[in-house]
Amino acid sequence: MKIEWDIEDTESFIQRQYVSIKSHIGGEFMLSSHSINGIARSYVFTGLDLHDGVTYYVSVISCNGADICTDATSLGMFVDSTPPSRGMFAITTDHASDPDLARHSAGWMTWTSHAVYLAWLGFSDVHSGIDHYMVTVGSSYMGKDLSKDVTTIHTHTDTNTDHGDEGKVQLFTVETSSISNLDTLFITVWAVNKVGLRSHLVHSAFTISPGGSLDLIRRCDALSCEGHCICAPQDQQCPYSASLGSCNDITSSKLSSNQC
């Protein structure tokens, strides 16, 4: 942790200083004072064992040539080094182990010609909490070509229906370009916590059904030579599909349009 401060004494000058770190009231972390030269205006603490979810404060004591000292304490510095956990789309399902697990919100996970109405839940961050979500909509795997604005921030809310350990359902309208003539949408959602760390992506494909519903695609083939797909177990890959055609290793050659 690097700290910087400003102190001045034009008469007897600063002769010695002491810096220390403490945690919030009731915390167990306390780093004894380090004595440093009077001309220093910055210091780097090393070998610290800071804990996620804890707020730390730095104190500086400066003493002049007349042995008169003054002290100052920084604003709290909150530590969170872990990203949010990943959630899921709130869809109708008969695959849940608990038959009473009703994630679906009426009127959501639907579409119109220029928007999708999405619901998700399960994203969480035990240290700093969820701040907002980002969404992209595409016509192909990991695509975002249908998003009207990929920079739109969807602020987390705690006022919707509570689903217990899966948290509050999040309901958002995402504007798109025209999707009326498409059969499939690829939708990606990720969460950002209050210190700016991103969760892993939730990336799924949905069939656009007549009547306005979005139906999750649960069975599919690999969409790349690496086995990328939208239906494998989380963070795993699908078996190679012959429908992709010939896949060649181009690590050491120039990419051509007919190679994967």
Tell me the residue range of the domain where 202 lies. Answer: 88-231
Cα–Cα separations (whole angstroms), residue 87 to 24, 90, 160, 163, 174? 31, 9, 16, 12, 18
- Domain of 40, CATH number, reads 2.60.40
Model confidence at 47, pLDDT cuts 50, 70, 90, reads confident
Same domain, 74 and 120: no
Q: What is the pLDDT of residue 225?
A: 79
If asked whether residues 38 and 152 sit together in one domain, one would say: no
Residues 183 and 142 in one domain: yes
Instruction: List all residues 6 or more positions away from 251 whose beta carbon is below 8 Å from its beta carbon.
Output: none
My answer on whether 64 and 154 are in the same domain is no
Q: In the predicted model, is pLDDT for residue 183 greater than 80?
A: yes
Model confidence pLDDT, tens digit, residues 2-44: 999 999 999 999 999 999 998 876 566 667 889 999 999 999 9
pLDDT at 19: 96
Could you tell me if 36 and 108 lie in one domain?
no
Tell me what pLDDT residue 254 has: 60
Domain count, the chain: 2
pLDDT in tens, 61-94: 999 999 999 999 999 999 999 999 999 998 866 5
